[in-house]
Structure 1
């Protein structure tokens, strides 16, 4: 069978197109690394044991990538990290606090927009992630969890005082205070506090965050310049005295003072306070201090249940701009933060609330 010149040209074009498609597919399936490399990761709080299983999942997909993880104490972490990056001895990937983008953005790389876009970020995570980890154009970090303040209560104390469910609003909490607290009738000393609130950082390690949350919930409007005045949707006197009245001996809701110098976590573990307002991440500390505690966890108290507002504290993973393997680092973070199975596994092992919307 003879082909005309035109038919031969068409056949050649078809063959070229087929070869191009096959080549494109082959390139698309090309692994992110052709030689063995090591990804170094620095973090806080999480032990090697917690992350081991999710590391293994990644290494099954990319057997030529070795993972080396180093855990730091949170108190020393930022200084150690900055010094290491300045000396070109930092990690490929590191944990990045939600408050760091403004001061450490120059040390990290943005994610490839074709891998994770702002639209996809909004679909996968709560809005706080975009607020903290994006500059409006690029995404710089992805979270493994989102921890928020919660109402942590002693179930045994609630049972003993015939309180079936924890309070959901600040007003409900105020009403329950006389039932939950114990006061020495002779000395007026607090034998058991209803809640750890009203004190300074001396007795409540996260006092400033609780106070900030109260301000946020009250929709406090701060002045833009000296000529403007503060505006309060709630009565100003009530708002300004709201926090400290819990530590005022003359108040009907008096339930705390800085005499609890061992701190709110220690006081709770000793069953000397019925409620603390803290992050769920600290549950493991409480259980370690007192394994026999019957602990309940409920949503953080609100002024308005129809408009809940909470305070978040969490870390994300970022790619160092000094990394020699940024593509592999990006693949690792995406595999861990966006994969539902890995995210669920991390949440179960770490005991922290998940970040993905589908798992919340």
Structure 2
């Protein structure tokens, strides 16, 4: 009987030990093997900067280009936090947006919140309500957001607008064509791009069968942005400071405008007598030419990725940083949207705290995923560098530049005309000088305030 009891006790202890070790192993294994979150940590948390009032509040919000789909789940999250606040978004077609915004400003009927191009800020500055310092202080703003936003969205030591994303120009390339020519990586410099282009282009006499890169004419989709990129990389100063006139016609140290050299380089891709000849408008639209394999490379903004992927599902293409004139001191180019608050809003503090919510790490990341616009937050843009699609564009956010255009449509038209004039055989310096004169008039039409 004693032996039986001893055996029973021994067995019971053994079972307990096995159970304890098993449970310990399960919890330890779960901790070690469970997938680790790659998302944001405490910096993802939105923290309100004001005390929200009681009672129903409606904020009207005008937007364009993004559509409503990307905002619906984000607004649902905001509504869960503030059931008494309703944000009503009105999506306006881009072609109508500037005119409607200008009319609303004239009639003092601007919505509480509205989207506007960064180079529109001076035009609407008198209609904007700056952020309370407890929501966006200049000191914190400078630490948090891209330098280009700091430079362009702060006036008189006050924050006038925020940006959700800073899209930069990048390179799209056909991976199969690169592989077929033994090109193992995307070009990092313009010389490397010229070398790749010479391998990818197919010529027949003075004609082209297939293109290496779509560059050189005013019909390239992003020509009005690629040209300033090249000018800035070549050392041009686009305007004086603060902007009152264009200055990119000024000569460099050799008494010849650096912008003229940039123009000569750009147009060389469309000149049959140049070794870099690679593009003719006979190929049609550059984006469609890339989708159909007629050209191996294009330069554009990241939103094009979704369009190309949708239209050319079998196309094997990748994205890369835009080539640089000096890799040790990169210069990149952006055209981006900002978000402002009307000075006539009944709830300006609530409106600005909504932007505080929108620019929090976690929420901005959701916006980026839906729009393919790299984050304006430097910490989030840094994390987005790991993304296989968005990474090259996000890596360029800290070095992104822009310039004040005044009437941006008139300025873009002047840049395109400069390209056409340069292609027609005129001295590039003459074309640059004419464009500079027009851009000065454009700036004077909408003076920088």
Q: TM-score range by the shorter chain?
A: 0.7 to 0.9
Question: What is the Cα deviation at residue 303 of structure 1?
Answer: 0.5
Task: Look up the match of 1:181.
Answer: 201
**Structure 1 residue 107 and structure 2 residue 127: aligned?**
yes
Task: Look up the match of 2:355.
Answer: 333
Q: Deviations over 1:226-265 (max 9, x none)?
A: 9x951157976754521111111011110012323x3221
In the TM superposition, 1:180-329 aligns within 5 A as: 180-183=200-203, 185=204, 188-200=206-218, 203-221=219-237, 230-232=251-253, 238-260=261-283, 262-329=284-351
Question: What is the Cα deviation at residue 322 of structure 1?
Answer: 2.2
Q: Deviations over 1:179-202 (max 9, x none)?
A: 11122x3x54222211111111xx
In the TM superposition, 1:110-189 aligns within 5 A as: 110-183=130-203, 185=204, 188-189=206-207
Structure-1-length-normalised TM-score: 0.84
In structure 2, what is the Cα distance between the partners aligned to 1:233 and 1:306? 23
Larger % of helix: which? 2
Counterpart secondary structure, 1:143: coil
Distance 1:255 1:352, change over 3 A: same
- Work out whether residues 142 and 333 of structure 1, in 8 Å CA contact, stay in contact via their aligned partners in 2: yes
In structure 2, what is the Cα distance between the partners aligned to 1:181 and 1:298? 19
Distance 1:256 1:32, change over 3 A: same
- Work out whether residues 221 and 230 of structure 1, in 8 Å CA contact, stay in contact via their aligned partners in 2: no
- Work out whether residues 50 and 353 of structure 2, in 8 Å CA contact, stay in contact via their aligned partners in 1: no
Distance 1:191 1:280, change over 3 A: same
Task: Look up the match of 1:18.
Answer: none
- Work out whether residues 74 and 363 of structure 2, in 8 Å CA contact, stay in contact via their aligned partners in 1: yes
Larger % of strand: which? 1
Question: What is the Cα deviation at residue 37 of structure 1?
Answer: 1.6
Structure-2-length-normalised TM-score: 0.68
In structure 2, what is the Cα distance between the partners aligned to 1:191 and 1:91? 52
In structure 2, what is the Cα distance between the partners aligned to 1:41 and 1:209? 28
Question: What is the Cα deviation at residue 171 of structure 1?
Answer: 0.5
- Work out whether residues 135 and 353 of structure 2, in 8 Å CA contact, stay in contact via their aligned partners in 1: no
In structure 2, what is the Cα distance between the partners aligned to 1:256 and 1:81? 38
In structure 2, what is the Cα distance between the partners aligned to 1:81 and 1:222? 27
Counterpart secondary structure, 1:280: coil
In structure 1, what is the Cα distance between the partners aligned to 2:88 and 2:123? 26
- Work out whether residues 280 and 352 of structure 1, in 8 Å CA contact, stay in contact via their aligned partners in 2: yes
Moved over 6 A (4+): 222-226
In structure 1, what is the Cα distance between the partners aligned to 2:139 and 2:49? 25
In structure 2, what is the Cα distance between the partners aligned to 1:59 and 1:148? 32
- Work out whether residues 232 and 238 of structure 2, in 8 Å CA contact, stay in contact via their aligned partners in 1: no
Counterpart secondary structure, 1:55: helix
Question: What is the Cα deviation at residue 306 of structure 1?
Answer: 0.4
Question: What is the Cα deviation at residue 87 of structure 1?
Answer: 3.2
- Work out whether residues 50 and 349 of structure 2, in 8 Å CA contact, stay in contact via their aligned partners in 1: no
Task: Look up the match of 1:353.
Answer: 374
May I ask how many residue pairs the two structures share in their alignment? 326
In structure 2, what is the Cα distance between the partners aligned to 1:273 and 1:176? 12
Question: What is the Cα deviation at residue 102 of structure 1?
Answer: 1.6
Distance 1:73 1:302, change over 3 A: same
Q: Deviations over 1:19-74 (max 9, x none)?
A: xxxxxxxxx99842211121111111222221112112211111101121121222
Counterpart secondary structure, 1:193: strand
What residue ranges of structure 2 are gaps of 5+ in the alignment? 1-47, 382-449
